[in-house]
């Protein structure tokens, strides 16, 4: 049976011969009604507080769930980012190694070409040196021949 303070105050007892003192019963019922009303209001206040706390807990649980999901998502994103960075760094390293090999191969080829060119230049220099020496020898012989001709010319000139 659910009673309210008003139910207690408005309740009327049947009167009998040699019954209870009506004023005393009314005062007692009034006291009970007041105490009951205090309890009723306190209960109502506590129920509202419980409801508010349940709502607060629900919000906090939702916040915690969202935070947990966000943390898990951030960890997954971080792991994915790390994996992608590692893959990208592997690709960059492999590309760098390939380019380094290409550069080394190219340098080896150019070194061989340059050595070959130097070899040909040395041969050409020797040929030119020999040509110059031959030309100088020829000029020397020519000069000797001119001097000889000049001496003979001088002799002929004085003989006359």
Q: Mean pLDDT in the chain?
A: 90
Confidence of residue 30 (pLDDT cuts 50, 70, 90): confident
At residue 88, the pLDDT reads 97
Which pTM was predicted?
0.44
Distance CA 146, CA 96 (A): 71
Four-point Cα dihedral 128, 129, 132, 136, nearest 10: -170
Please tell me which residue, 146 or 81, carries the higher pLDDT value. Answer: 81
pLDDT classification of 1: cutoffs 50, 70, 90: low
Residue 90 belongs to domain spanning:
5-11+19-159
In total, how many domains does the chain have? 1
The CB density around residue 11, as the number of other CB atoms within 10 Å, is: 11
């Amino acid at each position: 049976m659910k009673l309210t303070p008003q139910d207690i105050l408005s309740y009327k007892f049947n009167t009998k011969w040699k019954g209870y003192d009506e004023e005393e019963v009314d005062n007692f019922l009034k006291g009970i009604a007041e105490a009951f009303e205090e309890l009723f209001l306190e209960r109502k206040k506590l129920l509202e507080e419980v409801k508010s706390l349940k709502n607060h807990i629900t919000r906090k649980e939702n916040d915690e769930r969202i935070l947990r999901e966000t943390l898990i998502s951030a960890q997954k994103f971080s792991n994915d980012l790390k994996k992608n960075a590692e893959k990208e760094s592997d690709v960059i390293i492999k590309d760098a190694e390939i380019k380094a090999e290409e550069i080394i191969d190219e340098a080896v080829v150019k070194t061989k070409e340059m050595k070959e060119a130097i070899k040909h230049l040395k041969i050409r220099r020797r040929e030119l040196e020999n040509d110059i020496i031959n030309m100088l020898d020829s000029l020397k012989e020519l000069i000797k021949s001119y001097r000889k001709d000049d001496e003979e010319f001088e002799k002929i000139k004085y003989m006359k």
